Amino acid sequence: MEFGHESVVVRRGRRSGLPIVVAVHSTALGRAVGGCRMWAYDSWEDGLRDALRLSEGMTRKCAAAGLPNGGGKTVVVLPAGRSITADERHAALHDVGDIVAELGGTYVTGPDAGTGPADMAVIGERTEHVFCRPEAAGGSGDPSPFTALGVVAALRSTCLALFGSPALAGRRFAVIGLGHVGEQIARQLAAAGAELTLSDADPAKRPLGAELGAVFTEPGAAATAEVDVLVPAALGGLLTRDLVARLRCRAVAGAANNQLADPGVAELLRERGIRWAPDYIANAGGVVNAVSREVLGDEPEKAVRRIESIADTLTGLFETAARMEITTARAADDLARRRLAAPVPTAPGP
Ligand code: PHE
């Protein structure tokens, strides 16, 4: 594996004793940004691997979204098979804050799987380099509604590519993962009159299906449901070679990071004629909102316009991919690479 990161800190938290990884992939376009994941892994090496992949993905995400930022990520490796106490959690967040503070502003953290705005306020007791503190504490708050907004914009342009109309009413979607982002995608799709299949590994999410008039199934069944668009909104790696051979959807577009189990899967999707919205294009809404509000000083309406421009970016990628007979993954990587090669002093956008 080629080592392309600028800096990686791997440390046993002084207070928590937990392994903590802060990976800064690139600051070529500006300060690195990327959330803090608190998650159980079988080993600290697995957490390190995740941080390396996710931080690299953040570099592409920020570049393709036109943000003046690079990519980073934090992973707090929780012990597998037991939950941590509130005190341990607090200690781990302070440990993260100390490492971020030491990096001196080259990296700004934020929420990710397993953390939220209240946790950012705790990190904020140790460093100012943190996004998405609660609004009452001066931050831009929970990014997940904005991530969901961007994914729904991506779903409209996916429908445009499939059907010639961006309307969501009557289209069939299967949403896998009903966490912070997945639930809000499901609600927005239901409000727009879509037909929904919902699923989550946690059966406690079943009532959401009833509330939204949706079918609720096991994640395995949802993944191969006969729908227009499959919407991955859980953790990464859903699109394996085996699953892609069995898909019965016409497109895949969702919120999960790192959806492709390996890069070659993009070509298999293309061969099957299944359109794929590159994950880091579709799910950029959360980080776009945070940077727009907290760095660029935009009003909420302007941030929302930037998020909705994800639809145009994706439409452009679908067109480029079709014209050049390449995967959408390749088209998106080319876009990110062009932006990285020619840094612009201010973020373009509406
Ligand atoms: N967790 C968000 C993502 O994966 C990242 C994020 C970082 C959101 C910083 C807001 C602020 O894109």
186-220 residue pLDDT tens? 999 999 999 999 999 999 999 999 999 999 999 99
C-alpha distances (whole Å) from 55 to each of 41, 117, 118, 218, 344 are 17, 20, 22, 30, 21
Q: Where does the pLDDT of residue 236 fall: very low under 50, low under 70, confident under 90, or very high at 90 and above?
A: confident
Share of the chain above pLDDT 70, in %: 97
347 pLDDT more than 60: no
Mutational pocket test of ligand 1: of 62, 112, 292, the residue with most ligand atoms within 8 Å of the beta carbon: 112
348 pLDDT more than 60: no
Active-site pick, 61, 73, 205, 302: 73
Minimum CA distance residue for ligand 1 atom 1:
112
Confidence (pLDDT) at 193:
97
4 half-sphere exposure, CB direction, 13 A CA radius:
15
Q: Which atom of ligand 1 is nearest to the CA of 110?
A: 9
Is 107 part of any domain? yes
Same domain as 165, residue 123: no
> What's the 344 CA to ligand 1 centre distance in angstroms?
21
Same domain as 101, residue 155: no
- CA max distance for the chain: 56
> What's the 287 CA to ligand 1 centre distance in angstroms?
5
Same domain as 78, residue 15: yes
HEC profile for 175-189? EECCCHHHHHHHHHH
Minimum CA distance residue for ligand 1 atom 10:
287
Domain boundary among 137, 162, 184: 137
> What's the 53 CA to ligand 1 centre distance in angstroms?
14
pLDDT per position as a tens digit, 138-149 = 999 999 999 999
Q: Where does the pLDDT of residue 131 fall: very low under 50, low under 70, confident under 90, or very high at 90 and above?
A: very high
In this structure, the number of other CB atoms found within 10 A of the CB of residue 243 comes to 17
- The CATH number that applies at residue 263 is 3.40.50.720
Same domain as 197, residue 320: yes
Same domain as 83, residue 219: no
Provide the pairing of β-strand 215-217 with 107-108.
Answer: unpaired
Is 232 part of any domain? yes
Same domain as 11, residue 124: yes
Is 302 part of any domain? no
Same domain as 25, residue 115: yes
> What's the 131 CA to ligand 1 centre distance in angstroms?
9
Share of the chain above pLDDT 90, in %: 94
Mean pLDDT of 317-334: 98
Q: Which atom of ligand 1 is nearest to the CA of 54?
A: 4
Same domain as 193, residue 94: no
In this structure, the residues whose C-beta lies within 6 A of any atom of ligand 1 are 33-35, 110-112, 131-132, 143, 257, 283, 286-287, 290
Confidence (pLDDT) at 344:
60
Confidence (pLDDT) at 1:
61
Mark whether 302 is an active-site residue. no
Q: Which atom of ligand 1 is nearest to the CA of 113?
A: 1
> What's the 34 CA to ligand 1 centre distance in angstroms?
5
Same domain as 14, residue 86: yes
pLDDT per position as a tens digit, 277-290 = 999 999 999 999 99
| Token digits of residue 233 | 């909104």
**Mean pLDDT score of the chain, rounded to an integer?**
95
Q: Which atom of ligand 1 is nearest to the CA of 61?
A: 12
- The CATH number that applies at residue 119 is 3.40.50.10860
Same domain as 113, residue 181: no
Lowest mean pLDDT among 103-107, 179-183, 233-237, 319-323: 233-237
346 pLDDT more than 60: no
Confidence (pLDDT) at 349:
46
Same domain as 241, residue 148: yes
Q: How many domains are there within the chain?
A: 2
pLDDT per position as a tens digit, 69-103 = 999 999 999 998 888 999 999 999 999 999 999 99
Q: Where does the pLDDT of residue 350 fall: very low under 50, low under 70, confident under 90, or very high at 90 and above?
A: very low
Range of the domain at 158: 144-284+312-334
Is 303 part of any domain? no
Same domain as 96, residue 216: no
| Token digits of residue 62 | 């920020």
